[in-house]
Amino acid sequence: MKADIVWIHAYVLPMTGKYGDLTADGAVAVKGEYIVKTGPTDEVMREVQAEEVVDASGMLLMPGLIDAHIHTSCAIARGTAQDMDHWMQKGLWPWMQHMTLEDARAGSELNIIEGVKAGTTTFGDYNADMDQLLSRYASIGVRVAAAEMVNEIPKNIGDLPVEDMYPFDSSIGEKKLQANIKLYEKWHGAEDGRISVMFGPQGPDMLSLDLLRQTKREAERFNTKIHMHVCQGDREIFQLEKRYGKRSIPFLEEENFLNERLVAVHLTEATQQETKKTAESGAAMINCSGSIGIIDGIVPPLEMFTQCGGRAALGSDQVPGNNSSNMFNEMKFAAILNKVKAKDPKVFPAIKALRMATIDAAAVLGLDQKIGSLEAGKKADMLVIDTRKPALTPVLMHPVENIIANLVYAARGEEVRDVLVDGKYIMKNRELLNVREENTVQEVQQRAEKLAERIRT
């Protein structure tokens, strides 16, 4: 068997099987964009003839992390909306209504850089003007499952009293839906399949019933998923009860949204019965522990959702609320907060969190046939992690294996040395190969200062 490169004598965590199938002296062989062989080093070396052999002693090879829900353009407003109530109206909207398209592009690039440096290879990005952001994803070389944010909300929504019903503007909604359709037609399957497109109604409270139904029909026509905030907060419940006399889950059930096509983000305000119904419907859940913890002070019903058989993934959401786009943070938050909520340290073990940032997240986004685990025939989206860094030392295999626990509870992201997507390095020895990090940081700083000036005036 021919290969371009094989890493040998590494700890290999392929994320196959219930517990990840960690191997102490493992190897991974890659040809082109695909993995061709994984297993113990001696077995792989007997079967593979590689042009390059890398001694990866002391390194851990594992699948790239998946940030299943993120608004990358918001990075330009990092740290501007914490420790407050009515986060969206009072915190986020004042920045968003003054943000230019150039600001959004710069913020998105910064967020991608931040994510890659902490091991994220796939982003579930959910933004307005997504067409303008995808070229940067393409040039940096990462994978993205993109959705255009579809709503009918005017830009001055933050000026309205929080107890008022949202005013809908059908011209806004139609324009955004058409943008999502064009996004699919232009980008879905582009960059050798690294870019996929979903439909993104912002929330059942943020667009009219007619547009919500139309968006659903388009997602069915293109046979793609619907990525939507659901039970996002008491604001959403209030809006739906006032407009339709129903809470979010009963409303969506009546409109036939509860099925495998739906990727429901947050479920913050879902009751036990609503959580169970959503999980049993086949809909997936994305949990953003850091964001919702900071914005709402709530632990979403992730543990119950999975106990009811639901598929779930983790996301970082956005940095004006969460402050960082780091999936190691999200794994740690999810595991610890669910233990605290249950008052049980056995709840939500580290491997569960790790699955929700790899193979389970891939399934939620409909990408598990391509990515999420290190297996022959899958795309070579892979991390090389230095286990000799202080936070991951010592490494033990017997009588207790501690690598998985330390990835979730100790790693900070700086332990990621190399990042590959489609078998190509996009970061090597901590250096990003396809983007100038310092240039992006400088641009965002300058643009953020000008944005702040516009808000003040």
Residue 448 lies in a domain: no
pTM (predicted TM-score): 0.97
Residues 261 and 214 both lie in one domain: yes
Contact 191, 158 (CB under 8 A): no
159 pLDDT more than 70: no
pLDDT at 156: 72
As a 3-state breakdown, the chain gives helix, strand, coil percent values, each rounded to 5, of 45, 25, 35
Place of tokens 């709840």: 347
Rounded distance, CA 359 to CA 363, Å?
6
- 441, part of any domain: no
pLDDT of 457 above 80:
no
In terms of residue numbers, what domain contains 413? Answer: 2-63+371-432
pLDDT digits (tens, 9 = 90+) for 247-293: 999 999 999 999 999 999 999 999 999 999 999 999 999 999 999 99
In this predicted structure, the answer to whether residue 155 has a pLDDT above a threshold of 80 is no
Residue 444 lies in a domain: no
Place of tokens 């499952």: 145
- 35 three-class SS: strand
pLDDT score at 162: 66
Distance CA 227, CA 262 (A): 6
pLDDT value at position 87? 72
Does 452 reside within a domain? no
> How far is it between the farthest Cα atoms of the chain?
69
Closest CA to 426 of 191, 100, 267: 191
| Residue 209 counted as domain residue | yes
Query: Which residue is associated with the tokens 């517990």?
Result: 19
Q: Could you give the CA distance from residue 203 to residue 218 in angstroms, rounded to a whole number?
A: 16
Q: Dump pLDDT digits (tens) for 339-359.
A: 999 999 999 999 999 999 999
Is the pLDDT score of 451 beyond 80? yes
Rounded distance, CA 186 to CA 247, Å? Answer: 36
* Same domain (yes/no): 217, 325: yes
Return mean pLDDT, the chain: 95
Instruction: Please state which of the ranges 155-169, 184-198, 284-298, 303-317 shows the lowest mean pLDDT.
Output: 155-169
Q: Does one domain contain both 73 and 183?
A: yes
Q: Same domain, yes or no, for 312 and 347? A: yes
How is residue 395 annotated by DSSP? -
Could you report the per-residue pLDDT of 97-109, keeping only the tens digit for each? 788 999 999 999 9
Instruction: Specify the number of domains making up the chain.
Output: 2
What is d(CA 126, CA 147) in angstroms, rounded to the nearest whole number? 5
Instruction: Give the CATH number of the domain where residue 56 resides.
Output: 2.30.40.10
Alpha helices in 188-288 (DSSP H): 190-193, 209-222, 234-244, 248-254, 272-281
Residue 37 gets the label, from left (phi > 0), alpha (psi -120 to 50) or beta, of beta
